[in-house]
Structure 1
């Protein structure tokens, strides 16, 4: 099946082809390169992936079409759509982000850095969790209009951190 993915800061969606080979095995094609993937679900809801011989533990958090992943201490937010949903979005204006955008904490942690002026893809806040720093980036160019957390304060999962307009 073909999906289209777009990470924050990317201008265009990237096609990803995913073919099930059965028994937790997949063939994934991204940017013309094909990968063999073995996936094993773990008890905590995460996946253990073996991608062309490299091992990864991946934690997921879904929010609508957006999927947050935690891989090797790095948090990524990716918008994922199949071809049908992509056509529907194109009719409604595509992947552009407009209006008020609220940045949420992807996990419990501590705010360690806050920014004021932003461009699309610019780092806004660094949330520290389990001795790892996770930079949250702006989904659009704009002005920070509200800051809900102060540097050094702990935050809960999905806590409002910043509003960008």
Structure 2
């Protein structure tokens, strides 16, 4: 199976082949590795790669997946090739959306503030962890759609950068 994905806002072509030992994963026709994935009795999953075990939890909505492993939060979106072509031509504006439900702890920017790619904009608590949402592009904060202390649903618009 071959699919296109955005993993923490970076595009990748991913090929997955199931075999008797688990799965062979090839990323961008370049990097290949073998993994074995199992459901944990306590919930979530366990991944075995090169003799090392990694435990992780996954929350999904539509084609968006949020992965929590060892205190790190990763965002994955599975897309089709037509969507990828449209995304590469998207406008200069970039929406920051909630990848999972949570509570807004702190808004680090104001409308009109200049921001640089990678700059922290919002601190959000989700799955009992505080996560800093960062600017995917450089620009200026056009609008903020959340308030500190409020809860948001997965997919909610949080902030817009132009």
TM-score by length of 1: 0.70
Asked whether the equivalents of residues 105 and 155 of structure 1 are also in contact (C-alpha less than 8 Å), the reply is: no
Instruction: State whether structure 2 residue 148 is matched by structure 1 residue 135.
Output: no
Contact 2:107-2:147 at 8 Å conserved across structures: no
Task: Say if 2:104 and 2:147, in contact at 8 Å, map to a contact too.
Answer: no
- Do the aligned partners of 2:24 and 2:33 also contact (CA within 8 Å) in 1? yes
Give distance in 2, aligned partners of 1:119 and 1:57: 33
Cα distance per residue 1:61-99 (max 9 Å; x no partner): 223322211111111112223xxx21x2256x2345556
Provide Cα deviations, 1:99-126, integer angstroms capped at 9, x if missing partner: 6735226344561452233445543212
Gapped regions of structure 2 (runs ≥ 5): none
> Post-superposition, which runs of at least 4 consecutive aligned residues in structure 1 deviate over 6 A?
none
For these two proteins, the number of residue pairs brought into alignment is: 155
Q: Deviations over 1:14-60 (max 9, x none)?
A: 2222111147x111123523222111113565211112222111211
Q: Does residue 159 of structure 2 align to residue 163 of structure 1? A: yes
Task: Write the distance in 2 (CA, Å) between the matches of 1:96 and 1:134.
Answer: 29
- Deviation of 1:132 after TM superposition, in Å, equals 3.9
Equivalent position SS for 1:143 = strand
RMSD (Å) for aligned C-alpha atoms: 3.2
Match of 1:103 in 2: 97
Counterpart for residue 62 of structure 2? 64
